[in-house]
Amino acid sequence: MSEQPEQSCLIDIVLDERTIGRGNADIEHERAVAIFDLIEENYFWPIGHKAGQDDKDRFEYKLNLSLIEQRLAFEISDEAGKAVATHILSLTPFRRIVKDYFQICESYYDAIRSSTPSQIEAIDMARRGLHNEGSETLQERLDGKVKIDFQTARRLFTLICVLHWRG
CA atoms within a 13 Å half-sphere pointing along the CA-CB vector of 116: 3
Q: For residue 1, tell me if it sits in a domain.
A: no
60 phi and psi angles, rounded to 5 deg:
-120, 140
pLDDT value of position 167 = 47
81 phi and psi angles, rounded to 5 deg:
95, 5
pLDDT tens digit string along 91-149? Answer: 999 989 989 988 888 888 889 899 999 999 999 999 899 999 999 999 999 999 999 99
Handedness of CA 119, 121, 125, 130 (dihedral sign): positive
Q: For residue 2, tell me if it sits in a domain.
A: no
Q: pLDDT grade, residue 51 (50/70/90)?
A: low
Q: What is the pTM of this model?
A: 0.85
Instruction: Count CB neighbours of 70 within 10 A.
Output: 9
Q: For residue 60, tell me if it sits in a domain.
A: yes
Which structural domain range is residue 107 located in? 8-164
pLDDT value of position 166 = 53
Element (H, E) at 119: helix 117-142
Specify burial of residue 38 (Cβ count, 10 A radius: 0-12, 13-18, 19+).
Answer: buried
Q: What is the rounded distance in angstroms from the CA atom of residue 5 to the CA atom of residue 56?
A: 10
Q: What is the rounded distance in angstroms from the CA atom of residue 14 to the CA atom of residue 20?
A: 11
pLDDT value of position 18 = 83
Q: For residue 158, tell me if it sits in a domain.
A: yes
Q: What is the rounded distance in angstroms from the CA atom of residue 30 to the CA atom of residue 158?
A: 9
Q: For residue 140, tell me if it sits in a domain.
A: yes
pLDDT value of position 163 = 76
pLDDT value of position 165 = 65
Q: pLDDT grade, residue 13 (50/70/90)?
A: very high
Mean pLDDT across 31-58: 82
pLDDT value of position 5 = 78
Q: For residue 150, tell me if it sits in a domain.
A: yes
Q: Which position has the higher pLDDT, 29 or 8?
A: 8
Q: For residue 153, tell me if it sits in a domain.
A: yes
Q: For residue 117, tell me if it sits in a domain.
A: yes
- The structural domain count of the chain equals 1
Residue 73: is its pLDDT beyond 90?
A: yes
Q: Of 51, 43, 44, which Cα lies nearest the Cα of 82?
A: 51
